[in-house]
Structure 1
Amino acid sequence: MNSDQQNIKANETQEDLSEVLQVRRDKLAKLQEMGRDPFKQSRFDRDNSSMNIKNNFESLEGQMAKIAGRIMSKRIQGKAGFIDIQDQDGRIQCYVRLDAIGEEEYSIFSTYDIGDIIGVEGQIFKTKREEISIKASKVVLLSKSLQVLPEKYHGLKDQDLRYRQRYVDLIVNPEVKQAFLTRTKALKALRAYLDERGFLEVETPILNTIAGGANARPFITHHNTLDIPMYLRIANELYLKRLIVGGFDKVYEMGRMFRNEGMSIKHNPEYTAIELYQAYADYKDMMEITENVISHMAEAATGSMKIDYQGVEIDFTPPWRRMTMEECVKEYAGVDFSKIDTDEEALKIAKEKGIEITPGMRRGEVINAFFEEFGEDKLIQPTFITHHPVEVSPLAKRNADDPRITDRFEAFANKWELANAFSELNDPIDQKGRFMDQLRKKELGDDEACDMDEDFLNALEVGLPPTGGLGIGIDRVMMLLTNSSSIRDVILFPTMKPIEASHKAEEQN
């Protein structure tokens, strides 16, 4: 088929669709003329659901029920018809007869379309084919669908359209709704785990005057009244540590973070993370919390600590493997940094191994680059990588035995970073030096480096007790628990390029 034929076919399809949409509007107009405007219905008194009826049929058989939902299929045969209606829990069949609801009501019922939302009152029974159903004595149109749902057997397959019209995706693809129900189960388990252990859930600002708490490029906005730039938070770390200074021993916050960076199957500009802080604890305590809470989430959401992700079994059962970053680099890159002491030696081996050199790069940053290049993609099963170099850990406490490294870890699974934690740096003098180093990097062109936060330094001078802190990327964990190949599959409304911009890009290509 040539391009002209394709255009003609597309135009014909659009015309046919427009006719169908007009028919639905005509039906609505007729109902309104009859005084039966569905949009004037303010409520429907439901007393049951599809799942409850199916799960408890033996005790409910013969009883009356009131349910409501969306028509997903319709089969009219003369004076009787079957429809399947879908509510939040699933689908159930309804049997509608002319002699049960009356001729006028049946005539109106016969005009209902797939996608319409109705209320049904009737008796619970089982058909000759043993299908649990409702024998309708009353059918009420609660909302008229003026659009056409995707066809049953093909569904909504266009991935871009699924993300843009998630409301349709949820209607026609049951597995999508199940993924988000799984997400909810996991998050409830996460909160319960922390609440039961004395953690207090708090809220901190999303709009910040300083972009701090992590190395990332922020979204910048402007406050008109104050006439100052403001930043959507890239992390909530520094505020939560202020609360530990203020006397709270265990706090956590789960919410949206914003990073003005690239988009991929693992990255969305806004994403959900949880950060928690515990006074008088260290990174080892955070390690225990991490493996326990993620395995607890997996079991609560899927029934097992072992999950199948894209054909690979991942076992979250504690304890997880532990190795230092230098050990990982030695194992997978064959370079032993315990024998490399200077920046010059590190840069030399980096050039030999093809590692990209950036301005002002130091030994610790070279170690981290080696890990990212050679180690990260080997970490399939849950693994803790510990003792990051101080150069890449501006907020972590130095290791007591080796001040070049920090008491920090990152948790990995399926090659992805899932969590980041450390014994928090509570030395205000050392912290100021770290901030100064971040400013040096910013001057060298690193637009992800942290800003100086004078108020946070003041909080540290007031006194931060020894503290363990942990951040978990919720969306990546959910990708694993729901066997989703893209982060967009676990975010209800992922960030999308406006349709107009997408069309322009296609035309230019």
Structure 2
Amino acid sequence: MKKKIWKSSASIEDLIKRSNIISNIRLFFSKKNILEVETPILSRSTVTDVHLTSFETNYISSDNIDELKLWLTTSPEYHMKRLLASESGSIYQICHSFRNKELGRYHNPEFTMLEWYQPFCSMKKFIKEIDIFLQIILKCNKSDKVSYQDLFIDFLKIDPLCANLLELHQISKKLKLDHLTHSENNLNKLIQLLFTLKIEPNIGKEKPLFVYHFPAEQASLAAINSKDPRISERFEIFFKGIELGNGFYELIDVNEQKKRFIRDNKERRSMNLPIRKIDNFFLSALSYGLPPCSGVAIGLDRLIMLILNKKSIHEVIAFPVDRC
């Protein structure tokens, strides 16, 4: 019998459960008086991040004369930070985000994101807030916390903040990864590869784990630690070997942010990737003044997948890309 791919990949029963989980999430934020916001899915700019591939489209005027290139947002981050600079206070959003070249057990090109920002909140305090959220929504035990550096030392007996290329290639060979790493001479990329393949699948097995103080080279939009310039105020959340979320004590220095965007585009050029126009609306918001704040992006489909004990996010999405 021909497979009924017109039907939802998630059962109606699970879609009802999904709806209830999202209602509980909204209730959590409502009780904390955190404002729910909506920002555009279409944007005039996109991210410079070399690891993300955006979808692009065009707006065409009714007279077919004017055309404007637009992008589907990879996350609502830039728009939400513009609201923070407008003195919105604490905000959250549940929305669809879009990332090309991402499909698999934990990925769909269109997915649901929970993004949450808390002004005047340190990374350490914000991690405690998210931990409470996870205990309520996931009905799990209190999380563990560990630094990126300590995790590497525990699992691979190597310090990622001090390691050189020779040491990293030696550990890669020992772990039988040299077929993937032998030609790689970028220190940071080797460290990320080791983390992704040999550490990430084995952490947060029994309860969520917050990994904090990622290397400064992986700071993205996070601030650099004031006491140790080798590390950033970035954290990730893992549960049952799956990355659930990525968070920062946010970078608010407009000049540093612009430097990072320029550096991204230089790396794009070296990798033969398209150069991306820098989002000047976002930089203008930073220039006006973003309050000191922490933020996190949580993959809602993954969260729901774990709550419902499913093996793939496609089991909790009505119509993933093969059925849309």
TM-score of the aligned structures, taking structure 1 as reference length? 0.57
Partner residue of 1:186?
A: 21
Q: Does 1:377 align with 2:201?
A: yes
- Residue of structure 1 aligned with 2:265, choices 420, 432, 439: 439
Provide, for residues 41-82 of structure 1, a one-character-per-residue CA deviation record: whole Å limited to 9, x for no partner.
Answer: xxxxxxxxxxxxxxxxxxxxxxxxxxxxxxxxxxxxxxxxxx
Q: Counterparts in 2 of 1:19-418, with a 5 A limit?
A: 161=4, 163-166=5-8, 176-212=11-47, 215-225=51-61, 226-298=66-138, 305=139, 316-318=140-142, 320-340=143-163, 345=164, 347-352=165-170, 353=172, 354=178, 356=181, 361=186, 363-379=187-203, 380-381=205-206, 382-418=208-244
Write the deviation string for residues 73-131 of structure 1: whole angstroms up to 9, x where unpaired. Answer: xxxxxxxxxxxxxxxxxxxxxxxxxxxxxxxxxxxxxxxxxxxxxxxxxxxxxxxxxxx
- The alpha-carbon deviation at position 192 of structure 1 amounts to 0.9
User: In structure 2, what is the Cα distance between the partners aligned to 1:450 and 1:294?
Assistant: 35
Name the CA distance, whole Å, in 2 between partners of 1:234 and 1:450.
Answer: 14
When residues 240 and 448 of structure 1 are mapped into structure 2, their CA distance, relative to the original with a 3 A threshold, is farther
2:175 aligns with: none
**Between Structure 1 and Structure 2, which shows a larger proportion of strand residues?**
1
Aligned ranges 1:446-457 → 2 under 5 Å: 447=273, 452-457=278-283
Counterpart contact for 1:217–1:448, Cα < 8 Å = no
Partner SS state of residue 224, structure 2: coil
Residue 164 (structure 1) shift: 2.8
Structure 2: gaps (5+ residues): 173-177
* C-alpha contact 1:365 1:392 (8 A) present in aligned 2: no
**1:202 Cα shift?**
0.8
Contact 2:244 2:302 in 1 (8 A): yes
In 2, Cα distance between equivalents of 1:472 and 1:357: 34
**Structure 2 Cα separation of the partners of residues 292 and 165 of structure 1:** 36
Alpha-carbon distance between aligned partners in 2 of 1:270 and 1:213, rounded to the nearest angstrom: 19
Aligned pairs, number:
310
CA distance in 1, matches of 2:225, 2:12: 46
1:265: Cα distance to partner? Answer: 1.4
Contact residue 245 and residue 463 of structure 1 kept, 8 A: yes
- Secondary structure at the counterpart of residue 469 of structure 1: strand
Structure 1 Cα separation of the partners of residues 268 and 320 of structure 2:
30
Change (3 A) 1:272 1:365: same
Maintained 8 Å contact 2:249/2:293: yes
Going from structure 1 to structure 2, the CA distance change for 1:252 and 1:457 (only over 3 Å counts) comes to same
Shift of the alpha carbon at 1:448?
Answer: 9.3
Amino acid at match of 1:266: Y
Write out per-residue CA displacement over residues 231-261 of structure 1, whole angstroms, 9 at most, x where no aligned residue. Answer: 1110110110111111111111111001111
The 2-side partners of 1:415 and 1:422 are apart by 21
Give 5+ residue unaligned stretches, structure 1.
1-9, 11-157, 171-175, 299-304, 306-315, 499-509
What displacement does 1:338 show? 4.3
Identity of aligned residues (%): 27
**1:364 and 1:390 in contact (8 A); partners too:** no
How far apart in 2 are the matches of 1:213 and 1:322? Answer: 30
Structure 1 CA distance for aligned equivalents of residues 128 and 32 of structure 2: 13
- Look up the match of 2:250: 424
Q: Equivalents in 1 of 2:321, 2:53: separation in Å? A: 17
Output the CA distance in 2 between the equivalents of 1:260 and 1:437: 22
Secondary structure, aligned partner of 1:337: coil
Classify the secondary structure of the residue corresponding to 1:495.
coil
Asked if 2 retains the 8 angstrom alpha-carbon contact of 1:203 and 1:253, the reply is yes
- C-alpha separation between the residues in 2 aligned to 1:253 and 1:414? 25
Contact 1:216 1:448 in 2 (8 A): no
Q: 1:492 to 1:294 in 2, by over 3 A?
A: same
TM-score by length of 2: 0.88
Q: Distance in 1 between matches of 2:36 and 2:13?
A: 27
After superposition, give the CA deviation of every residue in 1:404-439 in whole Å (9 maximum; x if it has no partner).
Answer: 211111000111100111100001111111111111
Moved over 4 A (4+): 357-360, 446-451
- Taking structure 1 as reference, are residues 244 and 221 closer, same or farther at Cα in structure 2, changes over 3 Å only? same
The 2-side partners of 1:284 and 1:446 are apart by: 38
Q: Matched residues in 2 for 1:331 and 1:248: separation?
A: 41
- C-alpha displacement of 1:179: 1.5
Q: 1:356 is matched by which residue type in structure 2? A: T
Structure of greater relative contact order (alpha carbons < 8 Å, 6+ residues apart)? 2
Tell me how far 1:360 sits from its aligned partner. 7.5
Q: Partners in 1 of 2:97 and 2:127 — Cα distance?
A: 22
Q: Which one has the largest radius of gyration?
A: 1
1:371 alignment partner AA: F
